[in-house]
Structure 1
Amino acid sequence: MALRFASAVFAMLLGSTVLASAADAVGPYDPAPAAPQPAAVDYGGDDFVFELGIKGVIDPEYLGSDDYRILPGAIFSVEYLNLPGLGSFGGPDGLGFSIGPAFNVVGERKVSDHPELNGLDDVDTTYEAGIKVSYEWQYAEVYGSARYAFGGAEGFVGDAGANLIARPTDTVTLKLGPTVSFASKEYMETYFSVSPGEAAASGGKFSTFEADGGVKSVGVAASARYEFSPDWFLNADASWDKLVGDAKDSPIVKAGDDDQYSFTLGVSKKFSLDLW
């Protein structure tokens, strides 16, 4: 149900970007123009260029769940940073190497909210903070992030991926590519292991299981980005992740679903600061 809804909304967004950028499109008898290039930006004396925004998120209620929820989220990304004595990261055309912060929040898992988890321990909200690096060419990019988790779960978690990039107009950017995520043993144990005590408390529904660290999921991610006004952006993201390895083998996931979908829709604005 949630997947069909997310797919429909994502398709509507793609259609809206095409309609909104119709003025940039070529008529049926016009000569084909050169492929759009990322617009060069003159940062002047600005040292820090970043985006802030808000978004709505549809994702599983907990890792391995087959039920979905809707909740708000924040958008934050760094496009350019100049550090005296260390150099600059990012470029005026949006291409090349970039580095910035990476954050994620995994909501709490409470048995009182999910009767199907009776016998398992509650897991508090987990906060993740780290860095993300990427390198972008005209038609492709590669990226990766590593974060430390604390709160409900502890340990390291991260992801990596690659995208093909299409720019049908100067204001529209589309991306699609594979992803992979990984997590340390401590992180995996929190969400996927079942202790002997939990197995007994569940009345035999969940068998004892000890999850190890490693690859957590593989999948595909897509995004659409439309600059509807200078420095204002409409962003949509959709992804499918397949839990693999010990995550997939967990009795918790077997009682739920190893296919995990998510969709986000948000608005962001670019800001520039002269720091030095």
Structure 2
Amino acid sequence: MKSLLRQFVIATAAVCSAGAVCAADLPSPAPPPPPPIPDWIVTVSGMPSVAPQYPGAKMYSIYGAGGISIRRADQPERFSTPDDGFSLTLYENSWLHVGPVARYLNDRPHERELAGLAYVDPAIELGGFVEVTPYNWFRGRLEVRQAVTGYDGLVATLSGDVWHRWGDLTLSIGPRLNFGNNKFAESYFSVTPQQSAINLANGGALTPYNATGGLTSAGLAVAARYDYSEHWRVTAIGGYQALTGSVANSSITEHTGSTNQFTVGIEIAYRFRTTGLFAF
């Protein structure tokens, strides 16, 4: 028996040494292919607009704003309007999007009509948004934002849009409701007795007033978007807001401002497809 086992071992070694394929010589399994590099659609935009100089103002100025959005190439483009806050989606499914949002608010400058009132710096508002799209023709959006510069107040914007597309042209329309707490209302619409005395002494007409928060304005926005090519699009937007409640009755609104607030703008956007630039 031992002799037979010895002969088997010797024969196996001879076969291997002669170049036959043994287990140790079998090729290792091929490594799995690398995952595909994500493909993204990046859209950059710029929008000149004409808007009130500050909340409740009757004078208008020209402003410019920019934006950027990124989405996966295999995902459909979401409906949006140029008056949306700058936002980033952190959670989404087929009908819900949630994430952070930011907005910029112009300063309230020193003007003769506002003599005695405090200067309000430009404001950056940060917060979050929730967006629902239960149908392919309707979207609802809520933004809640806290001012971190300029003033100390909490605001919210509730909007809804219906839209329809004819080829390269998309038209949309929807209501806009704006809310602000007491600190927001005080910052832009309150007048203390001391401020009133200084204003009246300088030829103004501002009487003391204590503004409170709530629904600060209500209105409508319309937009017309035209996709000129695969890369370029242009969107015209117009909006109207009527100041409501306490802020509409402020002496600032009555004597130096207006309850009617209009906005018009033109957004020009360029989109391109990139592979591997945003690998996450």
- Please tell me whether residue 115 in structure 1 is matched to residue 112 in structure 2: yes
Cα distance in structure 1, aligned partners of 2:172 and 2:61: 25
Q: Secondary structure at the match of 1:132?
A: strand
TM-score calculated relative to the size of structure 2? 0.72
In the other structure, the counterpart of 1:25 is none
1:146 aligns with 144
Aligned-residue offset at 1:173: 1.6
- Whether the aligned pair in 2 keeps the contact of 1:45 and 1:274 (CA below 8 Å) is no
Summarize the Cα distance change of 1:201–1:77 in structure 2 as closer, same or farther, 3 Å threshold: farther
The alignment of Structure 1 onto Structure 2 pairs a total of residues equal to 223
AA aligned opposite 2:147: A
Q: What CA deviation, in whole Å up to 9, does each residue of 1:120-162 have, x standing for no partner?
A: 1211111112222222222211111111112221121120111
Cα distance in 2 between the residues matched to 1:246 and 1:144: 22
Q: Secondary structure at the match of 2:113?
A: helix
Q: Equivalent residues in 2 for 1:61-72 (5 A)?
A: 61-72=53-64
CA offset at residue 228 of structure 1?
1.4
Change (3 A) 1:160 1:153: same
Give the 3 Å change call, closer, same or farther, for CA 50–134 of structure 1 in structure 2. farther
Deviations 1:184-234 (A, max 9, x none): 111111011111211111117211111112111000011112221214321
Alpha-carbon distance in structure 2 between the residues aligned to 1:233 and 1:90:
26
In the superposition, the TM-score normalised over structure 1's length comes to 0.73
Offset at residue 47 of structure 1 (A): 7.7
DSSP-derived class of the 1:202 partner:
helix
Amino acid of the structure 2 residue aligned with 1:168: W
1:1-276 pair list within 5 angstroms: 46=38, 51-77=43-69, 89=92, 96-111=95-110, 114-136=111-133, 137-169=135-167, 171-203=168-200, 205-255=205-255, 256-270=257-271, 274-276=278-280
| Cα offsets for 1:215-264 (capped at 9, x unmatched) | 11000011112221214321221100000011101111111210000011
CA distance in 2, matches of 1:69, 1:154: 24
Q: What is the root-mean-square deviation in Å for CA atoms of aligned residues?
A: 2.6
Which residue identity does 1:219 align to in structure 2?
A: G
Query: Using the alignment, how far apart are the partners of 1:181 and 1:237 within structure 2?
Result: 18
Partner of 1:8: none
Q: 1:210 to 1:70 in 2, by over 3 A?
A: same
How far 1:49 moved relative to its partner? Answer: 5.2
CA distance in 1, matches of 2:263, 2:166: 25
Q: 1:50 to 1:202 in 2, by over 3 A?
A: same
Counting aligned pairs with the same residue, the percent is: 26
Aligned mates of 1:184, 1:215 — CA distance in 2: 9
CA distance in 2, matches of 1:154, 1:249: 22
Distance 2:51 2:182 in 1: 23
**Unaligned runs of at least 5 residues, structure 2:** 1-35, 74-88
1:175 Cα offset (Å): 0.8
Residue 130 of structure 1 contacts residue 148 of structure 1 at CA under 8 Å; is this kept in 2? yes
